[in-house]
Amino acid sequence: MKETLVILAAGMGSRYGGLKQIDGVGNHNEPIIEFTIYDAIKTGFKKVVLIIKKEHEQAFEESLVKKIRPYIEVEYAYQDMNDIPEGVTIPEGRVKPWGTTHALLSCRNILKEDPFVVCNADDFYGRNSFEKIMDFFHSGINDNTYCMVGYMVEKTLSDNGTVTRGYCQKNEEGYLTHIKEIMNIKWNDNHDGVVYEDNGEYKPMEMGSPVSMNFWGFMPSVMDKLGKIFERDLPEGIKNNPLKYEALLPNHIGELVNNNECKVKVLTSEDSWFGVTYKEDKPTVVAKIQSLKDNGTYPDILFK
């Protein structure tokens, strides 16, 4: 198998205030995405697909890709707002991409044979997450059985604002039974509990609740399933929310699970997640990355 790492890196970074996908957090100006690719290579992944905006290709090439090409096969895929079903019109004033499902579908002509991981460019997942998914890929699964890595919600929050997470439920066998994208999750006022916004009111969320950080292990069969959902939902989504509608991967995987079109094993990583949602998150991430270099988890220079 040619296990492939697919990185969602076409976001606009509106809350962050810049192209956070390649903003340096290491002492040699390495972005989080570089550590993710390093972990994937060490785990045995053989190819990386970077989903970006076409206009950002040169920036990615100069700051990241030219360093990693000697170590892993690299291919670009481009998320394009115009890549939508025939007969659908882009609303006037729309600048926001169509979401993570649409981003993944930009790889539909690339991901045809081998298993692949999908993850965010600006989230740090840790090598253990890759090891868990690689073991899963080699466990003799069928083409309609996928997996995800879950994290406890309180370990995925920012001290600098609200976040969006995929809230998960699983059965006794460890398979996903329900997932829903929940927005505006944050610490409560006492910083000893988690709350989320529901119809303008903040409600408590149980500590320890597993959430998706968009770290998925898929087989190629998922692409056709997601394509059909995206084409079905896009016209109604535009009608109801023309400027901000997004096709969100966790919600669509949840629909496939509910319709018994696939099974998703929920894996638990032993690593801690961290990421940069807001500019103010960066100093914390910089310190955590440096500590991982200091304790020998990563070399001082990842790709020499």
Mean pLDDT of 268-292: 88
Q: What pLDDT was estimated at residue 166?
A: 87
pTM for this model (two decimals)? 0.90
Kindly report the average pLDDT of the chain as a whole number. 93
Q: What pLDDT was estimated at residue 17?
A: 55
Mean pLDDT of 10-21: 67
Strands 210-218 and 163-170: antiparallel
Residue 265, CB-side half-sphere exposure with 13 Å CA sphere: 20
Q: What pLDDT was estimated at residue 261?
A: 97
Tell me the C-alpha distance between 276 and 25, whole Å: 10
In a 10 Å sphere around its CB, with 0-12 CB exposed, 13-18 middle and 19+ buried, how is residue 50 labelled?
buried
- Structural domains of the chain, with CATH: 4-294 (3.90.550.10)
